[in-house]
Amino acid sequence: MHIIVGAIIRMDEKILMIDRNNPPFGWAIPGGHLEGGELPEKALKREVLEEVGINAKELKLLDREVLPIDPCKEGVKEYEFYLYEALFWEGRAKKNDEIRKISWLSIEEIKKIRLEEVTKYFFQKIKII
């Protein structure tokens, strides 16, 4: 089973969203996979810094669930997903080579775009959309 993490990062009334160059496609929150022996919170801080240049200082776990999907198309039968919110963060959002687009979007804007399936699932589950 793969373990993946994602962070909701808010500024004012907007959420930081990314559109990756590689699967899974669609707009998503920053995040990624754990690397050898990492704990979810440490992995998320690393992924957020690598992907969008933000230093997530304080995280709150919002949800954790095992999903019977393969969003990264790697042949894995289940993913354990940890959803966090960055309560305190520093830095200025910027994209890396893995990201096609990065944007701060309102809830209304998020409702109109194509979301990556895991992001959409959790946004619906926690009533963001």
Indicate the domain borders of the chain: 2-125
Q: Please give the Cα distance from 64 to 126 (Å, whole number).
A: 12
State the pLDDT confidence band at 83, using cuts at 50, 70 and 90.
very high
Which pLDDT value is given to residue 46?
A: 98
pLDDT digit string, tens, across residues 34-60: 998 999 999 999 999 999 999 999 999
Scan for tokens 């754990």, then name that residue. Answer: 34
Q: Please give the Cα distance from 109 to 100 (Å, whole number).
A: 18
In words, the CATH class of domain 2-125 is alpha beta
| This model's pTM is above 0.85 | yes
Q: How far is CA 18 from the centre of its chain?
A: 8
